[in-house]
Amino acid sequence: MNWDGIVSLLIASIEALLIFNLIIFVDKNKINFLIIILVSLLASYQFMEFLICNQEMITPLNTYLAFMIITLVPTLNFFLINRITNYNEKKTFRFLELFFAVSALFFIVFYGLNYTLFEVKKCTVFYATYNYPLGFLYGVYYYLPILISFLMILNKRKNSDNQSLKIKLNILLSGYFFIIIPPLIGFILRIFELKEISISMESILCKFAFFYAIAISYYSIFNSKFKDERNYFKYLSGYK
């Protein structure tokens, strides 16, 4: 029996349940809307990796589609954190939003025009390894907004006197811990020239991002008028 990609299916299934609950139980404000899209992208990538590795749908086009999905994640996450921290009101951070959005569009278009260069090098139960052009440049694009977003959360938490906001930011930091570790490990592996695992970091990061998906889903509950299902139905019925 082929177990390659089975972890991706498990994560995609749980993230699909998260999306279902978010659609039903949280307010549809701008931040929660971004969270729903972000979790949807993470789930979609995991499902694509399952199709590629487990169902042997190994084609350059399917590999490109998986990368197209994952390419949107760092930029969308930056948009999310920018609004949670209110840094989007500053010109510098509005410029960064535009820069990362243009960078994502560049890679989507460039890779779309060269999708035949994509190759699945290896599939395992836990992760996949790909060959694709502009690997180093893509890595810089991928990890830079993630790192900046992490620093934004830390800085906002340090300078805020709002205890409620600090609790929300702690929730984000608990999830962010899991998506900061893989890039650090990848950097160390590259120093020691252990490239086979380091070039799989995008795939591995998306596995760890499962915990981030849980964190931002939990955050969205705090970002709603109700905190649990009972309050949700009271809210629907107009009870105060």
Six token digits for residue 205: 């990061």
Q: What CATH number did the domain enclosing 33 receive? A: 1.20.1070.10
Cα(43)–Cα(160) distance, rounded to whole angstroms? 33
Q: Could you report the per-residue pLDDT of 131-155, keeping only the tens digit for each?
A: 888 888 988 898 899 999 999 999 9
CA 155 vs CA 76, 80, 166: distances in Å: 20, 16, 11
Query: Is 14 part of any domain?
Result: yes
SS3 of residue 5 by DSSP: coil
Which has more confidence, 184 or 55? 55
| Assigned token pair, 172 | 């984000």
Predicted pLDDT of residue 201: 64
Report, as an integer, the average pLDDT of 13-36.
Answer: 93
Phi and psi based region of residue 6 (left: phi greater than 0; alpha: psi -120 to 50; beta: remaining): alpha
Nearest to 123 by CA among 10, 8, 42, 1: 8
**Closest to 88 measured CA to CA, from 152, 181, 131, 179:** 152
Q: What is the average pLDDT across 69-92?
A: 90
Q: Is residue 137 part of a domain?
A: yes
> What is the rounded average pLDDT for all residues in the chain?
85
Average pLDDT over residues 64-79: 94
Mean pLDDT of 115-127: 85
Q: By residue range, what is the domain housing residue 172?
A: 6-232
Number of separate domains in the chain: 1
Q: Look at residue 1 and tell me if it is in a domain.
A: no
Q: Does residue 32 register a pLDDT over 60?
A: yes
Q: Is residue 213 part of a domain?
A: yes
Task: Report the pLDDT averaged over residues 159-179.
Answer: 87
Q: Is residue 150 part of a domain?
A: yes
- Give the pLDDT confidence score for residue 190 in this predicted structure: 61
* Residue 238 included in any domain: no
In-domain check, residue 240: no
pLDDT tens sequence across 208-233: 889 999 999 999 988 887 555 445 44
